[in-house]
Amino acid sequence: MSTLVIIGTQWGDEGKGKVVHFLGKYADYVVRYQGGNNAGHTIIFEGKPFVLHLIPSGIVLPRKMCLIANGVVIDPESLYEEVELLKTKKINIKNRLFVSESAHIILPYHRYLDELREKSRIRIGTTRRGIGPAYADKVVRIGIRVCDFLDKEIFFSLLDNNLKEKDPLLKKLCAPKSIRQNIVRNYEKLKNFLKPLAVDTGILLEKAIRENKNVLFESAQGTLLDLDFGTYPYVTSSNPVAGGVCTGAGVGPTKIDEVIGIVKAYTTRVGGGPFPTELKGKTGEYLWERGLEYGATTGRPRRCGWFDSVIVRHSVRINGIERLALTKLDCLEGMDRLKICVAYKYKNKIIKEFPYSRHVQRDCKPVYIEMEGFKGNIHGMTKYSQLPLNARRYIEKLEELVNAKISIVSLGRTREETIIKDKYFPWIK
């Protein structure tokens, strides 16, 4: 038996979808434990890229059980559409996709409130999917869970209380009455859709672990977008960190065997907020073009920059990561020099650990070391020893700086474009 957590170690978009797809082959269960349809996990299905937002990436692999656990916020309309999309690809979800009855749901007013907040206060640059407002309702204890949604009487009384409370705010953007009408119109369809999927996912997981199944927990977002450990307030409203699995899926810490961090060979960020190693000129554009760095959920161009070992070391520590999967190494090919940020400088002081102060995060300057770049096509390489010497030097320098082993090196989106560097790697024989 083993349970494995896949974590993003930067600001999301590290390539979690690809690694989940790669390791998912060995998994019996794939579980989402936080976030919602703000995620965008790209996988290759029948040769073409395909993006999943809410459903665990394991769904494209036959016979895998896929769970959306209690820590996720579920937009029923979005889930419905994602299932419809899967049907067009002949991917069957029957008896293998389940959602937690205690997960909170996102309703259209959450999306409006997300938009309104983005207009009225510091712009976070959210995905406008209503994630923050839905988690806020959960915390102030006015949220609506899947099991509440399925009980018509309870649902409508909670809905009306919520709409009454939010009325003054919603009026600034739309007619609250029309929101209610819209919810009423879709209610029966969505209720009937959710009903057969809703279970206590914690019990399914307990049974799976007891039966020695392999369980893979798939995080959305990344450690620097974590509500507690990220660049607050420019974060998402949940806890993608490994500890989030315990509360987000109802699994005790003693049942988590391994945490694998996913790390991109450079850094990207979508939306607002500090990004010390951001490159605004030609080098940034080069990475952006090579990496096709567009947000998979919103289509926004991602900001690009050099590898930041300060943030990744922070992630390694917070998540208890021993092994990393390095993605998109191929996108660095052809650059003369590669820079790695090893510390920050703020008011003549050198800062080696991730700073929580907003001022320091915003105004610090990266301290770089430089390495020689590597040239030549590395696609198709399957052994670590085939990589150019300078590419291996870069990888080994990253390992040293972030205090973790790089066990997998990904050179492209497909399963085949993956090098296993570490002799020991969980699940892979």
Instruction: Report, in Å, the least distance between residue 124 CB and ligand IMO.
Output: 5
Binding status of residue 40 toward Mg ion by CB under 5 A: yes
* Residue in 23, 79, 270, 340 binding ligand IMO, rule: CB under 6 A: 270
What is the Cα–Cα distance from 210 to 208, expressed in whole angstroms?
5
Instruction: Report, in Å, the least distance between residue 171 CB and Mg ion.
Output: 32
Residues paired with residue 323 on neighbouring β-strands, in sequence order: 260, 405
Residue 30 · residue 68 · CB < 8 Å? no
Residue 77 · residue 180 · CB < 8 Å? no
Of 276-305, binders to Mg ion (CB under 5 A) are 296
User: Closest CB to ligand IMO among 204 and 222?
Assistant: 222
Which one from 13, 137, 308, 330 is the annotated catalytic residue? 13
Of 275-334, binders to ligand IMO (CB under 6 A) are 296
b/e per residue 340-366 (b: at least 16 CB within 10 A): bbbbbebeeeebeebbeeeebbeebeb
Element holding 277 (H helix, E strand):
none
Binding status of residue 14 toward Mg ion by CB under 5 A: no
What is the Cα–Cα distance from 269 to 295, expressed in whole angstroms?
9
Instruction: Report, in Å, the least distance between residue 220 CB and Mg ion.
Output: 8
User: Closest CB to ligand IMO among 38 and 214?
Assistant: 38
User: Closest CB to ligand IMO among 214 and 219?
Assistant: 219
Residue 222 · residue 268 · CB < 8 Å? no
**Site stretch for Mg ion (CB under 5 A), options 34-42, 109-117, 274-282, 373-381:** 34-42
Binding status of residue 71 toward ligand IMO by CB under 6 A: no
Q: Is 41 a catalytic residue?
A: yes
Sheet strands (E) in 72-169: 73-74, 97-100, 104-105
* Residue in 13, 75, 258, 417 binding Mg ion, rule: CB under 5 A: 13
Instruction: Report, in Å, the least distance between residue 219 CB and ligand IMO.
Output: 7
**Site stretch for ligand IMO (CB under 6 A), options 70-78, 216-224, 397-405, 417-425:** 216-224
User: Closest CB to Mg ion among 24 and 240?
Assistant: 240
Residue 225 · residue 39 · CB < 8 Å? no
**Site stretch for ligand IMO (CB under 6 A), options 54-62, 70-78, 118-126, 311-319:** 118-126
Residue 58's binding partner out of ligand IMO, Mg ion, none, with CB under 5 to 8 Å set by partner kind: none
Element holding 50 (H helix, E strand):
strand 48-52
**Strand pairing report for 303-305 and 307-308:** unpaired
- Asked whether the bond before 233 is cis by omega within 30 degrees of 0, the reply is yes
C-alpha distances (whole Å) from 382 to each of 10, 345, 417 are 26, 39, 7
User: Closest CB to Mg ion among 13 and 137?
Assistant: 13
Backbone angles phi, psi at 302, to 5 degrees: -85, 145
Judged by CB under 5 A, how many residues of this single chain contact Mg ion?
Answer: 4
Residues in contact with ligand IMO, shown as a per-residue x/- string from 8 to 27 under the rule CB under 6 A: x--xxx--------------
C-alpha distances (whole Å) from 326 to each of 10, 162, 312, 342 are 12, 44, 12, 18
Q: Is 359 a catalytic residue?
A: no
Binding status of residue 131 toward ligand IMO by CB under 6 A: yes
What is the Cα–Cα distance from 12 to 16, expressed in whole angstroms?
8
The residues carrying an active-site annotation are 13, 41
Residues of this chain that bind Mg ion (CB under 5 A): 12-13, 40, 296
Q: Summarize as ranges the residues that interact with ligand IMO (CB under 6 A).
A: 8, 11-13, 38-41, 124-127, 129, 131-132, 220-222, 225, 234, 236-237, 270-271, 296
